[in-house]
Structure 1
Amino acid sequence: MSGREWVDYYQVLGISGDATAKEISSAYRGLALKYHPDKSTSTESVQRFHVLSKAYQVLTDVEARRAFDAVLAGRMAQKQREAEFDSTRRGMRDELLRKEKEARKRKADEEEAEIRLQHEMERIRKEAQLEADRKEREKQTEEGVPGKALFDDLDRTLKISAESILSEEKIKETLKPYGTVESVLISKKQKSGIVQFTDILTAKSVMMDADRHLLKPLSFSWAKGHPPVVIDTPDEPKKANPKDFESLTLMRMRQAAERKQLRAKLEAD
């Protein structure tokens, strides 16, 4: 493609240009099993698997395949024109001029087709990234569901401090762009406190900007003293090892004690 080596995805999968979706999937599965990184870690196999995956993505997407076919047709026509040129170069000058004019038009069409193909491939990439991000958000926000990540209240709670007087209104207004603040507790001296968010992702976003000093003069730190740790619950609670439930229960008791100690310390301050 433009700026890169051209690859015929039909040849990569060993199929014809009129292959059906079922034939494309069947060809891809067979080759993917052979060149998957789990089967071979050689550089050649890894590169071959990457090209196979790209070919499968393009040829199984209707719009991307249509754009690819347009580029492929143009390149095949170009090869044909080059072969014809060798056999007709002794022809009349007017005929050559006419073909050159047609070639310029076809080249413009081919470039337009390549640009369209690039747009379709970028769309596929973005859609895949959005889907991956969506699954990650679901994993991090579904608390207490078997097999999902489990976080407690302190995991989405941050300590806050400043040299000037703090107010709940000021804190919520400052953090509004990041997400929803569930609760704010300020110490008696009004220069420190804790902020609890409705979700773990908001707390992480605030800490990322705080670490980059983008929220000065406010300072933030994790209420637990460290970032949240993902804990997986058993997929089948009734069949799980009793020791697993014992550990989980002790963990939750520790978390409750930590929350109580944090509030007591803050109120004492």
Structure 2
Amino acid sequence: MALLTDEERELDPYLTLGIAPDAAEKDIRKAYRKLSLKCHPDKNSGPEAAEMFHSISLALAILTSPEKRSFVDGKLATARAQAARRAEMDSKRKAKVDDLLRREEDAKRARKDAADQRKAAAAEEAVRSEGRRLMEERKKRMEAAAAAAREADAPKPTIQQRDGPPPISDEDLTITLTLPVGYTQATLEAALSKYGAVEAVHVVPSKKKPKAIVQFALGNWGGCWACVHDGAGIGAKVKWAAGKEPAWVAWAAQQKERGEGNEQGRTFKSAPDFGDVQDRQRQREEDAALESATLLRMRQRERERLAEEIRRAEEEV
């Protein structure tokens, strides 16, 4: 025969009487008398009062019976232990989920930073590669022209000014520009038109600040000097393609102080085909996409592993 009835099992006698689990019997009876004054049928005829009186009577019967009280105490202790374990599991599960979300955010930021760095490096490499190619082609053309001049017993064309400038090569007249946002090949060509003859121009598009490489025509040192010193007239950041200032720049500054300059005509030649550069850029983008997909699969496996750990931990409760 069961020690408690079904109705008694559903009742928490301590909560019903409003007392602590370690209350003495005199405190139990005192709490019962106090509540019975409010809900005894002789004093309160309402249906809720009758139900409450029945409940406190059951609670008194349980707590004044040593066997029943011991059984209830054990049952409540087990319930409290289970509740504590569930709370601990909830806390651990929340900590794991928070950690996973944090790591995913860190990985997302790392992927974005890596992609931005790859794009910036690719743009820089495109500018440098195109500059090298332009200079090599220019060098070949100059060598061919020199050979033809020698065959015709004609003097090799050189850059000469009345004050005797230092030797100026095509590399000495090549610069790189970091352009303001929004500048394109066409707008840059228009901005450069005031500086005289330009051998080649190439703009590397970008969502941020595009970059460009500009090679001035041999002999147009004045236009090159002016473009460098006023940021191409558009606030561009200018660097020498060779990495350092050519020797002729100091000489050109002296010519400007004397009021002398380059009277080169204003001509322009379009930049050559950059198909090879585009192919290399497309390959870099494909490599970046493969790396991103691999990282995504790794994060998916990590989420699945953590979910399995949480499921096993809940089954152990």
TM tier, smaller: 0.3 to 0.5
- TM-score between the two structures when normalised by the length of structure 1: 0.34
TM-score, with length taken from structure 2: 0.29
